[in-house]
Amino acid sequence: MTGAAAHTIETRRRTQLLVGAGLLVGLIILPVLIPSPYWRGLMVLVLLYAGLSQGWNVLGGYCGQISLGHALYFGLGAYTSTLLFTRLGIPPTIGLFAGGALGGAAALLVGWPCFRLSGHYYAIATLVFGLIGLLLVENWDWVGAAEGITIPFRQQSWIDLQFRIAVLPFDYAMLAYAALAWLVAWLVEGSRWGFYWRAVKDDSIASRSLGVRVFPSKMAAAAISGAITGVGGALYAQYIGFIDPPSTFGLSLSVLIALPAVVGGVGTLWGPLLGAAVLIPVQQISIAKLGGAAGGVDLMIYGGLILVLALVRPQGLISLFGIRGAAGDAVVENG
């Protein structure tokens, strides 16, 4: 990498950080200006899926490993935090770290055999693991089986992430989660691992010949991605107050986790946030307006958006702003 190129990349990364800080300040102020609990709740979901999709983007966007089983890590995070709270009394603020750790560990276990596959075979394998997780939880009485688990309200507390009917605290909890996921992506994007991942995504065989340790690189991406998703699952459980297998392990959830990054711009820093800001309101407003008739309508809209984007803006909505992914900065370093 030449000195001029390195300076350009460093300037771009500083700009990203400044823009991110400015956006964070704006999002801290925004919930206070929104009096409606409905719109505050919508903001909660947008920020949740922005964080989840950013986690998926680490593996699917930067590393090029398209996963259709991220609901497995989400569900493990949700159930781990919930069971620790309901059975052992461990606060969710601690349980979410346990959920993240278990999500990351599960991603490593899935990645160990599946990263020996490539292309659509890897995607199908992650889908199968996700379905196995769903079936196991649906038939495991100790974790509530198909009936799920209701999280009892104990006290109004940040430690327990329980606020009666207040939505505003969850706006800030989810904002912290989305901001942390964004910061992790920003850090890894400019790290050696980030360069390795983009090289693996472009051409794994050529990357290996140039000294990139392909399998460990994929495993590192999977662990980070699974951990971010697991934390999101734990936060979701506390926000909803009830979990069951379909809502935390379902295939549609895996798709919804990936879609914001796909629509916003795969392998970009801002794509997941932009995609979530577009897709989640579409989903929630269609449900609010159409009620039970909305089943499948949001998926039809998603399909239409993806079809239009594939034809008009294959790089995602983020390309409307002239922003490209970091793939162009990828440089393989020996070691």
pLDDT digits over 277-330, tens only?
998 998 888 777 766 555 566 667 767 777 787 787 778 888 887 766 554 444
- Average pLDDT value for the chain: 87
pLDDT tens for each residue of 36-48: 898 999 999 999 9
pLDDT higher than 50, residue 114: yes
Confidence of residue 268 (pLDDT cuts 50, 70, 90): very high
Q: Which among 267, 269, 268, 258 is positioned nearest to 306, based on CA atoms?
A: 258
Total residue count of the chain as it appears in this document: 335
Residue 70: both structure tokens together: 């991220």
Backbone φ and ψ of 149, nearest 5°? -130, 130
**What confidence score (pLDDT) does residue 5 get?**
65
- In this prediction the pTM is 0.91
| Contact criterion met (CB below 8 Å) for 111 and 219 | yes
H or E element that contains 57: helix 37-57
pLDDT higher than 50, residue 275: yes
What is the arithmetic mean of pLDDT over 16-20?
93
Sign of CA dihedral 285, 287, 293, 295: positive
Distance CA 197, CA 154 (A): 44
Distance CA 152, CA 166 (A): 16
Residue 277: both structure tokens together: 């800001």
CATH class entry, domain 3-251: mainly alpha
